[in-house]
Amino acid sequence: MQNPCEGHESTANRILNHLKGTQDFRLKYTQVDDFNLIGYSYSYFDGNKETRVSTSSYVMSLGLEFVFWRSHKQLVFTNSTTEAEYVAAAEATKEIVQFKKIL
Please report the pLDDT score of residue 75 as a whole number: 85
* Extents of the domains making up the chain: 28-102
Which percentage of the chain shows pLDDT scores above 90? 2
Which residues make Cβ contacts (< 8 Å) with residue 72, sequence separation at least 6?
A: 55, 56
Candidates 72, 79, 63; CA nearest to 27 is 63
Please report the pLDDT score of residue 103 as a whole number: 66
Please report the pLDDT score of residue 48 as a whole number: 67
Candidates 64, 66, 44, 65; CA nearest to 53 is 44
Please report the pLDDT score of residue 53 as a whole number: 84
Query: Could you report the per-residue pLDDT of 62-71, keeping only the tens digit for each?
Result: 877 888 888 8
Query: Could you report the per-residue pLDDT of 9-35, keeping only the tens digit for each?
Result: 888 888 888 888 888 887 676 777 777
